[in-house]
Amino acid sequence: MHVKMHHNSSATIRAVTHLAYPNGLALLNSSTLAVALTGSCKVQLFSIRPDRSLVFAAEVKTPFMPDNLSCDQNGVLLISGHPHPPTLERLVKHRRRCLEAGLLTPQPCDGSRAPSAVIEWTWERGLENLYLSAAEYGSSSAAVRDSELQVGIVTGLYEEGILVWKSSK
């Protein structure tokens, strides 16, 4: 949806494109929007026209269900998500049972994790793995990176704390 706010507090709203389960959004630059399509295991790129309408430009297939997107200072697209949906679903059900049981301490619920995946994408290099995990840090939902400091952060849907990495590039 594109929402244009007017000075009289009214708004004009229009659909700019129709997508199935769009989840994450990121601007690669002033003219390109990336949209994560979680259920389709892909990211679609759109050119932004001067009237703010979108034109399909390209598609990037991902080896997992992309959740959120971000872009670093160099225009590199970071894609985080879920490589094994059945494990994530089991984790959600397990956590729900723990919460419904009214457990005041999380210890009985610890130890259940879903895999994580974070990849980066550029027009020049395509997809490259940044972080793939079966259990160390699970259920990745977002990743950001400061490309000048070469430090990145990953958040997990059901994790305590964050994962921080330092790149040697």
Cβ distance 139 to 117 under 8 Å? no
- In this predicted structure, what is the pLDDT of residue 17? 66
- In this predicted structure, what is the pLDDT of residue 167? 83
Amino acid at 155: T
pLDDT digits (tens, 9 = 90+) for 135-154: 777 777 899 999 999 999 99
- In this predicted structure, what is the pLDDT of residue 105? 55
Would you place residue 112 in the very low, low, confident or very high pLDDT band (cuts 50, 70, 90)? low
pLDDT digits (tens, 9 = 90+) for 1-59: 666 778 887 877 766 567 777 888 999 999 999 999 988 999 999 999 998 788 999 99
DSSP the chain: -EEEE-TTS-EEEE-----SSEEEEEEEETTEEEEEEGGGTEEEEEEEPTTS-EEEEEEEE-SSEEEEEEE-TT-PEEEEEES-HHHHHHHHHHHHHHHHTT-SSSGGGTT----EEEEEEETTTEEEEEEEESSSS-SEEEEEEETTTTEEEEEETT-SSEEEEE---
Q: Where are the domains of the chain?
A: 2-166
Q: How far apart are CA 29 and CA 108, in angstroms?
A: 45
∠ CA 119-148-64, nearest 5°, is 5
- In this predicted structure, what is the pLDDT of residue 147? 92
Q: How many of the other CB atoms lie within 10 Å of CB of 82? A: 24
Does domain 2-166 fall under CATH 2.60.120.1440? My reply is no
pTM: 0.81
Long-range CB pairs of 126-131 (<8 Å, 24+ gap) are 127/60, 127/62, 127/63, 130/78, 130/165, 131/163, 131/165
What's the whole-number average pLDDT of the chain? 83
